[in-house]
Structures are given as structure tokens and as C-alpha cells.
Amino acid sequence: MLLDKVLVLSAFSGTLLAAQGAPIQGTPMQSAAVQREPIPTIASSATAEAKFTPDRATISISVQTRATTAAAAAADNAKKQNAVLAALRGLGLTNEQLSTTGYSVNPEYRYDPNRTPTLTGYTVTNTVLADIHDLTQVGKVLDTALANGSNMVSSLEFYASNTDAARQKALADAVAKARADAEVAARAAGGSLGPLMHLSVGGGGTYTPPRPMFAAKVMTQSGDTQINPGQQTISVNVSADWRFNPNR
């Protein structure tokens, strides 16, 4: 009997201690949850642009030949393309600036009503990309290539060797715009703008304004083709989160 009473008393004491200890252990966690309030923020975004002048260009120059056999068309093409490349090297372009970007051999057929198509010959097209580092050479490269056997110019594109300065200017302008908008929003909401909490940057692509289909202008006095690179635009967008300090 005495042992049973001791066991019952011990069990009751353990239950009492556990019941008394539960609130003590839970109080700090409950207090921390109550104190952890969301931080008020203001989100803003902006886009800015900066212009830059290209200092380089690429030209796709092709030689296209036709013959009754593929071998004859290829041989004629190789002869003319070699003459074009030699002439361009004579202007100072290195092998690194002249790269083959396409080579194709295509059969040609004559189609008559109610008859099987008749093979008439083959067309061979060899395309070289010229990377020009001096824009004053663009017109001369075009004229030289056409004068030495090239009969197709499929593209002329301008680019800049370094756009870091333009991109950084656009980035600074975009951040300034985003901050100005956030400051206006904070004042309108009855507070002030706090420190920056998060910033993401996107964009950085370039945009070339539309050009006329025939961008090259032939100068009648000298016979050289004159090319105007114009300007290009780089765009940067930012998204920012700022701490909002409400007026108390």
C-alpha cells in the first residue's frame, strides 16, 4: 500500500511539473512570433536607354555560279571566290576577319506542263563573312568584292566593339528612375523611403533603328559606296524593393 501511494504521488508530481513547465517553454516562441512583423516595402521598376555609335561592321559576301554540272559550277565558284578573298586581303583584312559561313550546291530544273522536270544545271553559292574593324573601309570592301567576282551581298550589320559605357549609363539612369518613383510613392503613402532591400537588372540588348532597304548610297563623283552606320540603342531595365518608413 505504501509503495502504491508513492508511485501515485510521483506520477501526480510529474504531471504537475509538466503542466507548469509547458507555459514557460512556450512563452518565448509565442513572443517571437508576435514580434516578427512583416517589413513594409515599396516595389518599383524602370527602363532606360543609351545610344552609342558602332565602330565595326560585318558584311555577308557571296559568289554564286551556275553550270551544267556540279563540278563545273564548283570550280568556277572556287576561282571567283579566291579572287574575291585575295582582293579583300589586299585591303588589309586578315584571315581571322574572313570566315566562310555558307556553302551550297543546288540542282536546277525546268518544269514543263505534263512532263517530268528536266535537270538543267547546278547552282553553287559560297558565302564569306567579312568582319571590318575600320568603318571607313566598308564602302571599299563592298566595291572591291563586287568588282572581283562577288555577285551577292546578303547583309550589312554594324556593331560596337565595346558597349560597357553605354550600358552602365543606361543602368544608372534606370536605377535613378526607379528610386525617384519609389520616393514619390513613399511620400504619397505618408512616409519616407528607406534603404534598398533588393535590386534585379535585366536587358542589355541593342536596338538598331529601321533602315531603308537600300542603305548604301553611291557617290557619283568618286564611285565609292558610302555607308552611314548611324546610332544604335541599348536598353536596361531594373526592378527594386525599398524599405518603407511610415510616419509615426
**Assigned architecture for domain 56-159:** 2-Layer Sandwich (3.30)
Phi, psi dihedrals of residue 206, rounded to the nearest 5°: -105, 155
Specify the CATH number of the domain 41-53+163-246.
Answer: 3.30.110
Rounded Cα distance, 124 and 80, in Å: 12
CB 159, CB 58: distance < 8 Å: yes
Q: What is the pLDDT of residues 140-178, one digit of tens each?
A: 999 999 999 999 999 999 999 999 999 999 999 999 999
**pTM: predicted TM-score of the whole model, two decimal places:** 0.67
pLDDT at position 203: 76
Query: What is the chain's mean pLDDT, rounded?
Result: 83
Structure-block grid coordinates of residue 36 = 516578427
**What is the mean pLDDT of the segment spanning 33-49?**
85
Rounded Cα distance, 196 and 193, in Å: 9
| Terminal-residue alpha carbon distance, the chain | 68
What does the domain layout of the chain look like in residue ranges?
A: 41-53+163-246, 56-159
* More confident: 223 or 125: 125
Rounded Cα distance, 76 and 60, in Å: 20
Structure-block grid coordinates of residue 214 = 537600300
How many angstroms separate the Cα of 184 from the Cα of each of 56, 181, 188, 194, 232? Answer: 43, 5, 6, 12, 32
Whether residue 41 has pLDDT greater than 70: yes
The two most distant CA atoms of the chain are separated, in Å, by 128
pLDDT at position 31: 52
